[in-house]
A = this chain, B = another copy of it.
């Protein structure tokens, strides 16, 4: 179970071809074949069907392990490199769409005034990508949002020892078209909306899977899938009646043709957390500390 073999296995499974994977990895076709043979011999099971190439049952299971495993390995290497390398004055911040709040922009303005030499980039990405890239040092800082019970941390994939601290808490609310029968309410219970039409916008709004686990039901089935990270576009779809979405209340208010109704039960908060490595020095750490401080 050498990591190299796992890497090859993943590539072959993804490409559906030994030769394609070989090209991608800079190996020969033969080497890839030997890698797979070694893995299969080691584990005592056939991992891939050939012609056409597709993972077997055991192979699928191994894939579930292999990805996170290699991610952690990369994260470890990146974390050590970060400790060793000299801190650069270049900071890349990954932000999930709903984490980009006025409060954050203010803190950012403060930093840029006091530290005009720092080269700061803000990059809007999905939650998963942010977590992965913070772990592997492709990002210096991540700002990730989600819903959770009031005193519970967000449920982020575990990719190693990262620091996560809450910086913003907002009320979660349902975005409804203004003419929706429930649009006039002052509060809504989540379970009452389990059978409504929902838009699944996992990279923009709260993923429906989170609503299912928070409400303890298996409703919230998507009527439309929305890919991308643009909040405005999502709300436009909602206004047109394509389906509801859960967002922090401030993100919904003041949008024409959209009403926001807070979720009254279960008790939930929409929270933004700073995510960064445990490194103690460098601009990234300073900025992360400032974000935490601004949160009080």
Interface residues of A (CB under 8 A from B): 1-3, 43-45, 57-58, 61-62, 64-66, 68-69, 72-73, 75-77, 79-81, 83-84, 148-153, 155, 157-158, 160-161, 213-216, 266-267, 278
Contact = CB atoms under 8 A, between A and B. Distances in A.
Contacts of A81: 43-44
Contacts of A213: 151-153
A290 to B, nearest CB: 21
Contact of A80 (B43, B84, B152, B161): B43
B151 A215 contact: yes
A69 B64 contact: no
A151 B151 contact: no
A35 to B, nearest CB: 15
Contact of A151 (B43, B64, B149): B149
Contact of A149 (B65, B76, B149): B149
Contact of A69 (B66, B73, B150): B73
A-side interface mostly: helix
Contacts of A43: 77, 80-81, 84
Contacts of A57: 83
Contact of A66 (B62, B76, B149, B267): B76
A45 B1 contact: no
List of 10 A-B pairs having minimum Cβ-Cβ separation, nearest first: A149-B149, A158-B158, A65-B76, A151-B216, A64-B161, A45-B84, A43-B80, A149-B152, A151-B214, A69-B72
A169 to B, nearest CB: 11
B158 A157 contact: yes
A168 to B, nearest CB: 15
Contacts of A72: 65, 68-69, 72
A13 to B, nearest CB: 15
Contacts of A148: 149, 152
A183 B66 CA distance: 52
B68 A80 contact: no
A160 B61 CA distance: 11
A148 B76 CA distance: 30
